[in-house]
Amino acid sequence: TAESYKRIDKVDGEVQAFLALNEEQATAQAKEMDQVPFEERGPLFGLPIGVKDNIVTEGIETTCASKILEGFNPIYDATVVHKLRDAGLITIGKLNMDEFAMGSSNENSAYKNTRNPWNLNHVPGGSSGGSAAAVAAGEVPFSLGSDTGGSIRQPASFCGVVGMKPTYGRVSRFGLVAFASSLDQIGPVTRNVADNAFLLEAISGLDANDSTSANVDVPSFTKSLTGDIKGLRIAVPKEYLGQGVGEASKQSVLDALKVLESLGATWEEVSLPHSKYALAAYYLLSSSEASSNLARFDGIRYGFRADNVENLMELYKETRAQGFGDEVKRRIMLGTYSLSAGSYDAYYRKAQQVRTLIKQDFDNVFEKYDVIIGPTTPTPAFKIGENVKDPLTMYANDILTIPVNLAGVPGISIPCGFAEGLPLGLQIIGKYFDEATIYRVAHAYE
């Protein structure tokens, strides 16, 4: 813990990954833990961790990087935060993100721009950019992020670290500030695959406080790190190596496939034919859910409240007008429109139907193959400022990660080379609740 704070002191002025630190509490917790006998200490005992700022932490300000939650101090811990403590981890601070997890570069944070530790002129990705940058910069060995449409895997790829989006329902969402409830999942960001497996094991499992958490056994993910992938059947979707995907990303995946072949795996090209509709369906569905979830920020219950208003309606309006940033407003408007009586059938219902087709694409491929492999992102990290004026180009960044959220299956990003001095990521996608196989493949490759 002390080492982490030292490192943060040294590099966070440049990287800007943290929004809040709780040095006093963390140091006290570490001291108390010194009393625990050695035999009772698990593999993660005493290690420091950073938590994305949309996961509530009792007594530590939780803002979702939004002005509307400025000064909000939650009165309880998210289930994952409890589980971290049970595993002996020490939460040392809260990590920057795109406001309410909407974005792919951390440029939508109301507070600061986190920078890519590999090149400070580039973005760390998003929305869990702080989570990925803090691990890449050696400020913490572990962090938690959330992934609604790529937000763990894309920044992990941009920062050269390991990021897992578990199966929907694997990890409790209780205490995760909801963006799109049917897509959101919390997951671990780490330096290597083994750490990631340890951490996912610690945070997984059924939770009475989250009716969407799944009643499925949590196997020992670390036991699957055998190095043996003989006979493994890999599917490579042609859509993931097609138009719009950069040469460097393609080449790094082809090189990785050679390594996996040399270890006894085989691969074939397949098709996920509805991938081309995923981005449109995702932005409709996630914005619709967001418009409903964000209705609770009214200036009465949490954080920021506008002053100089004459009546209640004005208070709501002013608080939301001043409290939300542009991207959040864009999503609320899009979502409210698509849920409105006249548009519901044409947009929301259509997008749900497309979602089913996308899920079926994955089901079909998984009948014959163990994992799906492709790049995590079309290109390495772009420059700060490069895409801010153009939301559609920004959205296109998630073209390879979003179908995974729509289907609900698990996916990881692990480092697989460099282009122009910036890391590239390999995405490995698995069957429902089969994170174990993903870890086995990732570990064998690493």
List 1, 29, 62, 151, residue binding ligand GLN (CB under 6 A): 151
User: Is 101 a binder of ligand GLN (CB under 6 A)?
Assistant: yes
* 34: its two tokens: 């010194």
Q: Is residue 286 at the binding interface for ligand GLN, with CB under 6 A as the rule? A: yes
**Closest Cα to residue 200, out of 445, 442, 446, 444?**
442
Q: Does 150 bind ligand GLN (CB under 6 A)?
A: yes
Task: Kindly write down the DSSP assignment for every residue of 122-142, as one continuous string.
Answer: B---SSSHHHHHHHHTTS-SE
Instruction: Give yes or no: 151 in active site.
Output: yes
H/E segment holding residue 19: strand 18-21
Q: What is the DSSP letter of 380?
A: S
Q: Which helix or strand (DSSP H or E) is residue 164 part of? A: strand 162-165
103 binds ligand GLN (CB under 6 A): yes
Q: Is 102 in the site for ligand GLN (CB under 6 A)?
A: yes
Choices 12-20, 35-43, 149-157, 237-245; region in contact with ligand GLN by CB under 6 A: 149-157
Q: Does residue 201 touch ligand GLN according to CB under 6 A?
A: no
- 71: number of Cβ within 10 Å: 10
* Alpha-carbon distance values, 133 to 16, 119, 128 (Å): 9, 11, 9
Q: What is the DSSP string of 92-107?
A: EEEE--SGGG--SSST
Could you say whether residue 66 binds ligand GLN (CB under 6 A)? no
What residues contact 361, with CB distance under 8 A and at least 6 apart? 271, 272, 273, 274, 275, 403, 407
Q: Does 284 bind ligand GLN (CB under 6 A)?
A: no
Question: Which residues is 57 bridged to in the sheet?
Answer: 60
396/112 Cα distance (integer angstroms): 23
Size of the site for ligand GLN (CB under 6 A): 13
- Minimum Å gap between C-beta 102 and ligand GLN is 5
Answer yes or no whether residue 338 interacts with ligand GLN by CB under 6 A.
no
Is residue 147 close enough to count as binding ligand GLN by CB under 6 A? yes
Measured from the CB of residue 164, what is the shortest distance to ligand GLN in angstroms? 13
Told to check if 127 binds ligand GLN by CB under 6 A, we report: yes
- Catalytic annotation on 52? yes
- Of 104, 172, 185, 387, the residue at the interface with ligand GLN (CB under 6 A) is 104
Who contacts 270 (Cβ-Cβ below 8 Å, separation ≥6)? 235, 236, 237, 238, 365, 369, 372
Q: Tally Cβ neighbours within 10 Å of residue 37.
A: 6
Select from 40-48, 83-91, 98-106, 193-201 the region that touches ligand GLN (CB under 6 A): 98-106
> Which of the following is catalytic: 4, 66, 127, 131?
127
Binders of ligand GLN in range 374-433 (CB under 6 A): 398
Binding segment for ligand GLN (CB under 6 A), chosen from 100-108, 132-140, 205-213, 255-263, is 100-108
Q: Under the criterion CB under 6 A, does residue 252 sit at the interface with ligand GLN?
A: no
Using the rule CB under 6 A, is 149 a contact of ligand GLN?
yes
Catalytic residues: 52, 127, 151
Using CB under 6 A, list all residues that contact ligand GLN: 101-104, 127, 147-151, 179, 286, 398
